[in-house]
Amino acid sequence: MSAIAQRKDAAKYHAILEAAIKVMAVSGYHGAQVARIAREAGVADGTVYLYFKNKEDILVSVLRETISQIIMLSTWLEGDHPEPLLALHKLIEGHFTTLGRNPDLALVLQVHVRQSDPAIREQVADMMRPYHRMLERILVLGQETGVFRQPFDVRIARRMIFGTIDETVNAWIFTGAKYDLAAQTDPVYDMLLRGIGKGDKLSEI
């Protein structure tokens, strides 16, 4: 929660945040006018600035809240399920479930975040770091406990997993978010474990 808002009306704070998600989903970050966000939230233009430092702060706050939600969910899973295979499955499921529930949020996260100023991207990267760290811890643990195959580069595996999740969400959004995203968990999980190759053909090149 933004420092400014600590002493103020939490309901209004979240109303603005949700209005921002809705407006940005339609118009993108640059297209989202503060005035429209304010109207959508049912407050005056100036009120927005009582809760957020500026427009950029709104976007960053949306991201902070969402990412921390995904991470909290996943951290909890990591603690409860030290079994790496299960942890990975639950991580994917958590990611798909969180975004699958709120397509507008997903759109903002997948598309609109990546624009905006470098400063924002920097902040987003910082926020994502714990998520990536956690994914790497799962992978290392999986290798150590022997449930994953031994010799692979953890960073490359992490990028494959994150990239696949990301692209799956993207595809879901761009086809109109019509099907159940969470239902993609099992096939994606399976695909990530097996790869596309056959055991006996892997060293051909």
Partner DNA sequence: AATGAATGAGATTTCATTCAT
Partner DNA sequence: AATGAATGAAATCTCATTCAT
Binding residues vs DNA (CB under 7 A): 7-9, 12, 31-35, 43-50, 54-56
Give the whole-angstrom CA distance, residue 64 versus residue 71. Answer: 10
Specify the residue, 6 or 198, whose C-beta has the smaller distance to a copy of itself. Answer: 198
Query: Cα–Cα distance between 25 and 107 in angstroms, integer?
Result: 6
Question: Binding of a copy of itself at residue 198 (CB under 8 A)?
Answer: yes
7 binds a copy of itself (CB under 8 A): no
204 binds a copy of itself (CB under 8 A): yes
Q: Does 62 sit near a copy of itself (CB under 8 A)? A: no
Q: Are 49 and 40 in contact (CB under 8 A)?
A: no
> How far is Cα of residue 92 from the mean position of the Cα atoms in its chain?
11
CA torsion 130-133-138-141 (nearest 10°) is: -130
Residue 18 neighbours by CB under 8 Å, 6+ apart: 41
Q: Left if phi > 0, otherwise alpha if psi is -120 to 50, otherwise beta: which for 82?
A: alpha
Q: Could you say which residues in the range 122-141 bind a copy of itself, by CB under 8 A?
A: 125, 139
Q: How far is 148 from 193, CA to CA, in rounded Å?
A: 8
Report the partner that residue 34 touches, choosing among DNA, a copy of itself, none (CB closer than 5 to 8 A by kind): DNA
Nearer to a copy of itself, 2 or 110 (CB): 110
Based on the shown chain and the rule CB under 8 A, indicate whether residue 29 belongs to the binding site for a copy of itself: yes
Contacting residues toward a copy of itself, per CB under 8 A? 28-31, 85-86, 89, 110-112, 114-118, 121, 125, 139, 142, 146-149, 152-153, 155-157, 159-168, 170-171, 174, 184, 187-199, 201-202, 204-205
